[in-house]
Structure 1
Amino acid sequence: MRTAYSVETVRAAERELMARLPEGALMQRAAAGLAVACGELLGRVYGTRVVLLVGSGDNGGDALYAGARLARRGAGVAVVLLSPERAHQGGLAALRAAGGRVSGDALRDIACADLVVDGIVGIGGRGGLRPEAAQLARAARESALVLAVDLPSGVDADSGEVRGEAVRADATVTFGAYKPGLLVDPARERAGALRLVDIGLTLPEEADVEALQHADVADLLPRPTAESDKYRRGVVGVVAGSARYPGAAVLAVAGALRGGAGAVRYVGPAADKVLAHFPETLVHPGPPDKAGRVQSWVIGPGIGDESDALAEVLAADVPVLVDADGLRFLTPRQVRERTAETLLTPHAGEAAALLGRGRDEVEAARMESVRELAAQYAATVLLKGSTTLVAGADGPVRVNPTGTSWLATAGSGDVLSGVTGSLLAAGLTARDAGSVGAYLHGLAARRAAGPGGAPILASEVADHLGAAWRNVTD
């Protein structure tokens, strides 16, 4: 599992380690790792031109010492000092001693560079870049590879927010631990390829942000045993679709059938359409409380204004996933009064409506928004989007690493609701079901899009869920 820690936690661990090491040793460890990453990004070091953009923080010192190492290996290294009087003096002296120089014409040096190293602002930075730094960052992006030190300058390390102009890097080398902002958009897409350099930090067992990997998902996936039958594996109930949106029912059921439960009960007006596609489905005209026993409910995709079933489903003493149209009729009190788990799966627009704010605000502050929703509803919340996040009332926020922009297509959320609801019925907690469902959904979409990517249909995502499952377990 990939874990990320807040700035406060990382700094506390750094202070504890520095108290046990000779002065400057920790910075030298970071600089050594940074220099190696620079060399790998360049392909070779001798004869290349490297420009360091250096501010007043410790990551400016990391950049200077790394620049000294590159200069000793034959690179031409120039440093642009944005705060000359506050630059790390030891690092600057080391760079000069190795043959590096202070730039006399920043824009000209950047235009000739093979690599620009962003050491402008450290992990404690707040707000966007100042005008001079922003101009240099734009020039670097236009003419050279850009490698960020610890995180791209101008992004918020804890939240992933970008409040103004920020560096857009091809790669980021971060030290000791991932920072939450490196895994969450809008900052994530500015970080490029991530590389973690171990500098010996001792960190708490519980992180602030987690990202599952194949092994974690494989451990969580439900598997039938010799004694299993379809009912022991779990039955998921699906309330979806309407006369206007019958396809939502078909897609939600498609996801549910491939999500690990033993059976799917469909309740709604699109039974004929569902059976035409999936004769395995158990159908019932409703109401939900008369449809038979289930271990979880999925409600909302494509139900339009038919809200009567929501109260009945929420009254059931089983986990409930509420998506799409179901969210429009939901109140915090309804969810807070439940004894079983509730999983809400809004996209940014739906989350904005639930929070009473603008969509742009939610997309700019995804971490804050998902945590606030989880607290307000006392539920687990899966916030869909460029970075899908899963948050409960407490514990780390989970970030899904498998998504693709090709998932921005009609009906893909219906498939996600189905597979996630099926995992709930199979016995996973809301947090695990949301995380695993998003992971498989993203993998399936990547497989459907193929190498290089291409437009996909939501039904194709459902069709590739089995292959995604096998990919994880193999």
Structure 2
Amino acid sequence: MRTAYRVETVRAAERQLMARLPEGALMQRAAAGLAAACAELLDRVYGSRVVLLVGSGDNGGDALYAGARLARRGAGVAAVLLAPGRAHPAGLAAFRRAGGAVLERDRAEDAVARADLVVDGIVGIGGKGGLRPEAAALARAAAASRAAVVAVDLPSGVEADTGEVRGEAVRADLTVTFGTHKPGLLIDPAREYAGSVRLVDIGLDLPPDGAELEALQHADVARLLPTPAAESDKYRRGVVGVAAGSDRYPGAAVLAVAGALRGGAGAVRYVGAAGDAVIARYPETLVSDTGPAKAGRVQAWAVGPGAGEDAATVAEVVAAEVPVLIDADGLRLADRDAVRARTAPTLLTPHAGEAAALLGVSRAEVEAGRLTAVRELAEAYGATVLLKGSTTLVADPGGAAPVRVNATGTPWLATAGSGDVLSGVAGSLLAAGLSARDAGSVAAYLHGLAGRLAARGAPVRAHQVAEAVSMAWRDVVRG
């Protein structure tokens, strides 16, 4: 499992470690890892042209020490000092001793344009807001050049704790981060600026219960997947109820059932106006036209995809005393107070537009501050929230547990009906006994992976994603 920690926690761990090490040793560890990553990115170090963009903080010091290492290996390394009087003094001295050159400001953009590699050491992890004009001009020059761009710890201009980008920022091909991931490296929009991320272990002792974010990996998901035992039958594996679809949107019901059938539960009950379409496509579905309360026993419900204006069915499901997933039209139709009053687990699965409507803010505000939005929504509804997007976030109310982040998806998943499949998978996992947090996290992981497997770089339809969920499941189990 990958974890990410807030700046305050990272700095406290750094202070504790520095107190036990010789002066400057921690920065040397970081610089060694940075220089090694830069060397691997270059076709060859000897004779390459490297430009360091150096700010006044420790990131600038890391860049200078790494630049000194590259210079000693034969690279031509030049530094642009954005705050000449406040550059890291020991790092600058080591850089000069190794043969590094300090550029005049009027030569900086031209040097960046001709560089093979640009190292972004402008702003550290405590930076707020976008880049200042001079630094922004250099960031634009780097983006326009043929150079590979390496960010030190975090791309300058993005916010470490929130993943927000409030102005111009460096777009890196590679970010070399130290000790632990920072939240901004895992959450969009900042994640888009980070490129590939390499974690360099510098020996930080971080509190295991102090992570801000966590990202599941194959082994974590494999441990959470429900596995039938020898004595299992379809009812013991869990029955998920799907209340979805309408005369206008029968396909939503079919797709939600498609996801549910592949999500780990032993049986799927369907309630709604699209029963004929569902049974025609999936004859193993238990179809009922008597409403949720009389459909038969279920261990969880998924409600809302394609529901149209069927507020009565949504209210009936919300009143059920089993775990409930609410998606799509259900989010609009569900009464907030009724959701908050529930005692069984509840999972809401909005995309950014739906989250914005529930919070009474603009979609742009949600997309710019996804971590804030998912937490606020979880608190407002007293429910677990899965906020869909290029990076999916899953948050419990109360804030005690780290927010889960998932990035297994692909932009090809932005297709009609994809979210209905996700709802079915997550609802099925709820019925199989997973908590709302685990069901949402595992479903997002499988759904994203299924999207990649189905798409393979080409357009994909939602039913193909559903069919690929089993392949994703097997891929996870095989490790």
TM range (shorter): over 0.9
Match of 1:116 among 105, 115, 118: 118
The code of the aligned residue for 1:237 comes to: G
Output the CA distance in 1 between the equivalents of 2:21 and 2:377.
Answer: 43
In structure 1, the partner of 2:10 is 10
Match of 1:358 among 356, 362, 381: 362
Secondary structure (helix, strand or coil) at the match of 1:375 reads helix
TM-score (norm 1): 0.99
1:316 Cα offset (Å)? 1.1
Matching of residue 154 in structure 1 with residue 160 in structure 2: no
Match of 2:187 among 147, 163, 184: 184
Q: After the TM superposition, which residues 267-346 of structure 1 pair with which residues of structure 2 at under 5 Å, given as runs?
A: 267-346=271-350
8 A Cα contact 1:212 1:401, kept in partner: no
In structure 1, the partner of 2:41 is 41
8 A Cα contact 2:261 2:267, kept in partner: yes
8 A Cα contact 1:118 1:153, kept in partner: yes
Secondary structure (helix, strand or coil) at the match of 1:21 reads coil
Matching of residue 244 in structure 1 with residue 248 in structure 2: yes
The code of the aligned residue for 1:336 comes to: R
Output the CA distance in 2 between the equivalents of 1:286 and 1:45.
Answer: 72
In structure 2, the partner of 1:400 is 406
1:315 Cα offset (Å)? 1.4
TM-score (norm 2): 0.98
Output the CA distance in 2 between the equivalents of 1:6 and 1:433.
Answer: 26
Q: Runs of 4 or more off by more than 3 Å in structure 1?
A: none
1:311 Cα offset (Å)? 1.6
Moved more, 103-112 or 179-188: 103-112
Deviations 1:391-428 (A, max 9, x none): 00121000012011000000000000000000000000
In structure 1, the partner of 2:171 is 168
Output the CA distance in 2 between the equivalents of 1:80 and 1:112.
Answer: 14
Matching of residue 433 in structure 1 with residue 418 in structure 2: no
Match of 1:212 among 197, 211, 216: 216
In structure 2, the partner of 1:19 is 19
Matching of residue 409 in structure 1 with residue 415 in structure 2: yes
In structure 1, the partner of 2:58 is 58
In structure 2, the partner of 1:145 is 148
Output the CA distance in 2 between the equivalents of 1:62 and 1:223.
Answer: 48
Identity of aligned residues (%): 76
1:371 Cα offset (Å)? 0.4
Secondary structure (helix, strand or coil) at the match of 1:357 reads coil
1:108 Cα offset (Å)? 1.4
The code of the aligned residue for 2:125 comes to: I
1:312 Cα offset (Å)? 1.2
Output the CA distance in 2 between the equivalents of 1:303 and 1:372.
Answer: 25
Q: How many residues align?
A: 472
Output the CA distance in 2 between the equivalents of 1:5 and 1:44.
Answer: 34
Match of 1:135 among 114, 117, 137: 137
The code of the aligned residue for 1:433 comes to: A
Deviations 1:341-371 (A, max 9, x none): 0000000000000000000000000000000
Output the CA distance in 2 between the equivalents of 1:221 and 1:259.
Answer: 9
Aligned-residue Cα RMSD (Å) equals 0.6
In structure 1, the partner of 2:128 is 126
Output the CA distance in 2 between the equivalents of 1:302 and 1:335.
Answer: 20
8 A Cα contact 2:315 2:335, kept in partner: no
1:287 Cα offset (Å)? 1.4
1:10 Cα offset (Å)? 0.3
8 A Cα contact 2:426 2:439, kept in partner: yes
In structure 1, the partner of 2:198 is 195
The code of the aligned residue for 2:159 comes to: D
Output the CA distance in 2 between the equivalents of 1:174 and 1:111.
Answer: 25
Output the CA distance in 2 between the equivalents of 1:332 and 1:158.
Answer: 29
In structure 2, the partner of 1:78 is 78
